[in-house]
Chains A and B, each alone.
Chain A
Amino acid sequence: MKRRIKIINLVLSNIKRKYSRSAILIVSVALLIFMFTFFILILATITTSLEKFSSRLGADVIVVPQGAGAPGEEFLLEAKVRQFYMKKDLYDKIREFEGIEKITYQTFVGVLDKNIKVIAIDPETDFIIKPWVENKKLNKGEVFLGAEAYKYFGNIKKGDMIKIFGKDFKVADIMDKTKTGMDYSVFITEEDMIDLIKENPNINVREDQISVILIKSSQEMDAGVLAYEIENGYPQVDTIYVKKIGEKVRKFISNMSKIFSVVLVVSSVLSVLLIANIFTMIINERRREIGILRALGASNRGVMKVLLLESVFLGIIGSSLGIIFGLILGWKLLSSLKMPFIEINMVIVSLIVMAGIAIGVAISGFGVSVSLIKIRKIEPLTLIKGE
């Protein structure tokens, strides 16, 4: 005849018996783990996304007109519409610098509805768009559509025709998702840009203007040094060192981490004290029961096991709730930032889940252990008498 495992019955019966206290324990663990999950998700996601962003972009130095550094970052990180131009002859001068492996330029042509940007590229030198398309060569009369921008044109596919500023273009390819501002852009050739300028008086850019110069430094050259030298050589430009992109965000995250660490440590200590106090109350009320268990053959370790199981059970429920709410609210906050480069990393999420449960269980286990130490030395008969 089969019997269920009694220890679980015993643990569950104890939890049910002190329903409101069990709820307080669960909530206190849940709150702590919620904070942990929420902050770590945000901090780790932004940090790793920024690192990935640098490698996705392909360039390690971006040259923009003087004073356009900040708008340039906003354009890249947040896909915001930012319009700035410099003389194209700067490109010819800067390409002469030593330590450049690849160099190209892009020009902001204009903006369509829903903030879709039209950008002209030089297909001969481009190395930024190429890795994201199968059809590597962009010809006159063709467009590459960003992974989000193509939605603006409805249900279209490669080879379809679309109109941009009244001119027909053939969709040469739809780009893979880059998680950068490129996803919200349409790329045309420089030749087509010149035609559009002639045909469309509303387009402000001139033929001899470009918006950005994108550089991949050679292996021997430090990109930071190259950026510094370009800026020194040409005061009319600013450079964005891609590895340093999001410096403000990084600084903010670094400060947040410090505050968060303090908050987490204080909350952990408070949670342990709260849990220890509640368990002390529960254990004091259950002295007789503990004494009976000892008389039935439970060693101190055996009693500890039962109570630890109870706390672990409550810790797992509390941690799970904290993790679920932390992930949901963290994800909501990250989504609300509307930064295309932000990407939830499943490895990070898995680590947060494991660490969250481990912390929740450890804290509730520690809390009960603190209160159990007090009754370990009490003789079973004294416990049975409830003294």
Chain B
Amino acid sequence: MSEKIKIENLTKIYPQNGRNIVGISDINLTIKEGEFVGILGHSGAGKTTLLSLIGGLIKPTRGRVLIDGIDIFSLSDEELSRLRNEKIGFIFQFSSVIPTLSVIDNVLLPLYFAKKPPSDYYSRALVLLEKVGLEGYEDRYAYQLSGGEQRRVAIARAFINYPEIILADEPTGDLDEDTEREIAKFFVEMQKEENLTFIVVSHNPEFIKDLCKCSKVYFMRKGKIYEKKD
């Protein structure tokens, strides 16, 4: 398996009211293609910061993130946006749908920025919606859905563009146990079927270990990352 993501000396410091808050500090990590990585940690440990840096959503104070050997922070805004659009699917820890768009339009939204015709992806969108338990919901408006349903729309959206990497930040945070199990099953299935490099962040060890069956599990604490062997 080739190196998909390589993180070198990654540090993020947030200046806040004249003080420096360390988000993450000197992280080195290599994630291989098709690996299912779980990151555990309490809130404030730096999980979201790490995930956002891998996705290029924030710039590091120091260090590099290489995806397929390319330092993503050496790219221009256009190039980095294209990389995010083509290679990465994001799942956020909150509802991230556009409420006034229909469910199907929300799922197809990344394709607009990819300049790909949505019609080619329509059937994939329907399959993804079915897999996340939203069959028949495609023409409803997102604001008509419950919080959990909106989360599932956002999950389906992350996979629409055949991404190579999925970055999931507390993807089942406010979902019930049954839905959490279904989503984990969906993640496992998609990861295997499409050989995705999957990074899922959660505070819930059961979700990471038992449900997602991550091949590698890390633990974050005070901005540092440790591999969990047990």
Contact = CB atoms under 8 A, between A and B. Distances in A.
B58 A289 contact: no
Contacts of A296: 84-85, 90, 109-110, 113, 157
Interface in B89-104: 90, 92, 96, 98-102, 104
A375 to B, nearest CB: 13
A9 B113 contact: no
A295 to B, nearest CB: 5
Contact of A297 (B48, B98, B113): B113
Interface residues of A, number: 30
B227 interface: no
Contact of B92 (A1, A16, A17, A292): A292
Contacts of B157: 296
Nearest to A15: B100
Given A6-B118, A294-B57, A379-B59, A299 B81 contact: yes
Interface string A262-299: 00000000000000000000000000110111111111
Interface in A1-35: 1-3, 6-7, 9-10, 13-14, 16-17
A133 interface: no
Nearest to A298: B113
Given A6-B108, A6-B118, A1 B123 contact: yes
Interface in B55-82: 55, 57-59, 77-78, 80-82
A299 B77 contact: yes
B100 A297 contact: no
Given A296-B113, A299-B78, A301-B78, A13 B57 contact: no
B114 interface: yes
B108 A3 contact: yes
B90 A295 contact: yes
B112 interface: yes
Chain A contact residues, majority secondary structure:
helix
A298 B58 contact: no
Interface in B106-131: 108-114, 117-119, 122-123
B105 interface: yes
A3 B57 CA distance: 30
A13 B101 contact: yes
Contacts of B59: 379
Contacts of B77: 299-301
A382 interface: yes
A197 interface: no
Nearest to A296: B110
Interface size class of B (residues with CB under 8 A): 35 or more
Nearest to B157: A296
Contacts of B78: 299, 301
Contacts of A164: none
Interface in A289-323: 289, 291-302
A381 interface: yes
B86 interface: yes
Interface in B37-66: 48, 52, 55, 57-59
Nearest to A13: B100
Nearest to A386: B94
B58 A10 contact: no
Contacts of A299: 77-78, 80-82, 113
A17 B100 contact: yes
Interface in A373-387: 379-382, 384
B92 A384 contact: yes
Interface in A140-154: none
Contacts of B52: 380-381
B118 A16 contact: no
Given A16-B100, A384-B57, A9 B105 contact: yes
Most A Cβ at <10 Å: residue of B59, B81, B105, B110: B81
Nearest to A301: B78
Given A295-B90, A298-B85, 18 more contacts: A2-B119, A3-B117, A3-B122, A10-B109, A10-B112, A13-B98, A14-B100, A291-B57, A294-B84, A295-B55, A296-B84, A296-B85, A299-B82, A301-B78, A302-B81, A381-B48, A381-B52, A381-B57
Interface of B: 48, 52, 55, 57-59, 77-78, 80-82, 84-86, 90, 92, 96, 98-102, 104-105, 108-114, 117-119, 122-123, 157, 161
- In the A-B complex, the 7 residue pairs with the smallest Cβ-Cβ separation, listed nearest first, are A297-B85, A13-B100, A299-B81, A3-B118, A381-B57, A297-B113, A380-B57
21 contacts: A3-B104, A6-B109, A7-B112, A288-B96, A291-B57, A295-B84, A296-B84, A296-B85, A296-B90, A296-B113, A297-B81, A297-B85, A297-B110, A297-B161, A299-B77, A299-B82, A300-B81, A301-B78, A379-B57, A380-B57, A382-B58
